[in-house]
């Protein structure tokens, strides 16, 4: 089935206990609506509707899925439902809050707390080219707090796998919220996936193009580095599978020398290492570096110096 455009549910449509107000966004795998519950509280409802597998025409409610795509559609729906179940257990101010999830109209819906604000992607585009661009202080603040949420995700044995500026939402008060765990649902299932892997090329780690068994928190950290890089460049770095063949990404320490602190630029380059073992191995490790504005040496160099010092002490018989 060729990729097509699916029609959204109409304004005023009664969906379980919620009334649909309007479409908020349309993606390749889902449609997100603004809706209101029975108390008049606004919510965001995400509808599983992969446009490569299902088609819903104007005025229709239940999507049409051909026999050939039934297996993949059902598998994806199962994963989507499991994603909702897993996320409903996460209660953290920097992670989107899932309130409910249910089946209806031949598909699955996830009800989330509605947040007012804009995405980091929108913020970057608005400030791109302006004097000062996106400030280092702003980037450090956003990502240090976002990593609090990602730490919670990792503590539940989950990976996000699609971190990018458009999936980092900035509330009106500036606090970040991590959105859209669509790619994470691939890690929730133990059987072989039928659906194609979900990722955004410029932000995905090399592991996401290869062996799933090598995925880990360091994979999300690569995406965090790519997102910070995008704050400076206005666009994502070269996709990692192409970097392995011929790396054209100019290190941040060279590209923005004099515009941002060497320590901050080195931190971005640290996250963007193609070798997973050379990146920060946990959110906490990266947070510690981002929270410290001034150091005598960039993170990678500092780590090497500390290791050298430990080896010298050992050789001298000191502990």
Residue at 247 is within a domain: yes
Are residues 225 and 299 both part of a single domain? yes
Where a domain ends, among 72, 93, 113?
Answer: 113
Are residues 109 and 142 both part of a single domain? no
Residue at 1 is within a domain: no
Are residues 199 and 258 both part of a single domain? yes
Report pLDDT digits (tens) over 156-186: 888 888 899 999 999 999 999 998 775 544 4
Report pLDDT digits (tens) over 186-213: 444 444 444 455 668 899 999 988 877 7
Where a domain ends, among 113, 138, 161?
Answer: 113
> Count of domains in the chain?
2
CATH number, position 136: 1.10.510.10
Q: How confident is the model at residue 81 (pLDDT cuts 50, 70, 90)?
A: confident
Q: How confident is the model at residue 86 (pLDDT cuts 50, 70, 90)?
A: confident
Mean pLDDT, the chain, as a whole number?
Answer: 85
Report pLDDT digits (tens) over 134-149: 999 999 999 999 999 9
Where a domain ends, among 50, 79, 113?
Answer: 113
CATH number, position 43: 3.30.200.20
Are residues 235 and 215 both part of a single domain? yes
Are residues 176 and 251 both part of a single domain? yes
Are residues 228 and 149 both part of a single domain? yes
The predicted pLDDT at position 207 comes to 92
Q: Which domain covers residue 105, as residue numbers?
A: 14-113
Are residues 122 and 223 both part of a single domain? yes
Are residues 67 and 178 both part of a single domain? no
Are residues 107 and 178 both part of a single domain? no
Q: How confident is the model at residue 318 (pLDDT cuts 50, 70, 90)?
A: very low
Are residues 136 and 221 both part of a single domain? yes
SS (H, E, C) the chain: CCCCCCCCCCCCCEECCEEEEEEEEECCCEEEEEEECCCCCEEEEEEECCCCCEECCCCCCCCEECHHHHHHHHHHHHHHHHHHHHHCCCCCCCECCEEEEEEECCEEEEEEECCCEEEHHHHHHHHCCCCCCCCHHHHHHHHHHHHHHHHHHHHCCCCCCCCCHHHEEEECCCCEEECCCCCCHHHHCCCCCCCCCCCCHHHCCHHHHCCHHHCCHHHHHHHHHHHHHHHHHCCCCCCHHHHHHCCCCCCHHHHCECCECHHHHHHHHHHCCCCHHHCCCCHHHHHHHHHCCCCCCCHHHHHHHHHHHHHHHHHCCCC
Are residues 104 and 151 both part of a single domain? no
pTM of the model: 0.83
């Amino acid at each position: 089935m060729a990729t097509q455009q699916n029609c959204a549910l109409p304004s005023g449509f009664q969906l379980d206990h919620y009334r649909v107000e309007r479409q908020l966004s349309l993606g390749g795998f889902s449609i997100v609506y603004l809706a209101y519950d029975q108390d008049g509280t606004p919510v965001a409802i995400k509808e599983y509707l992969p446009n490569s597998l299902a088609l819903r025409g104007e005025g229709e409610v239940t999507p049409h899925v051909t026999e050939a795509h039934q297996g993949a559609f059902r598998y994806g729906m199962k994963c989507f439902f499991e994603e909702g179940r897993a996320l409903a257990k996460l209660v953290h101010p920097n992670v989107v809050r899932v309130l409910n999830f249910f089946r209806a109209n031949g598909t699955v819906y996830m009800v989330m707390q509605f947040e007012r604000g804009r995405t980091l992607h929108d913020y970057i585009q608005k400030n791109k080219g302006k004097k000062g661009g996106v400030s280092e202080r702003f980037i450090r603040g956003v990502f240090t707090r976002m990593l609090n949420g990602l730490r919670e995700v990792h503590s539940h044995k989950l990976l996000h796998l699609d971190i990018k500026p458009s999936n980092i939402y900035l509330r009106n008060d500036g606090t970040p919220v991590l959105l859209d765990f669509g790619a994470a649902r691939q890690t929730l299932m133990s059987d072989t996936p039928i659906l194609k892997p979900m990722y955004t090329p410029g932000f995905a780690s090399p592991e996401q193009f290869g062996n799933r068994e090598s995925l880990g928190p360091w994979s999300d950290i690569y995406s965090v580095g790519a997102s910070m890089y995008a704050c400076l460049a206005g666009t994502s770095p070269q996709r990692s599978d192409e970097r392995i063949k011929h790396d054209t990404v100019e290190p941040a320490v060279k590209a923005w020398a004099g515009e941002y602190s060497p320590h901050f630029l080195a931190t971005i380059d640290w996250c963007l290492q193609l070798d997973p073992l050379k990146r920060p191995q946990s959110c906490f490790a990266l947070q510690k570096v981002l929270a410290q504005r001034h150091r005598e040496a960039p993170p990678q160099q500092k780590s090497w110096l500390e290791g050298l010092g430990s080896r010298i002490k050992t050789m001298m018989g000191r502990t």
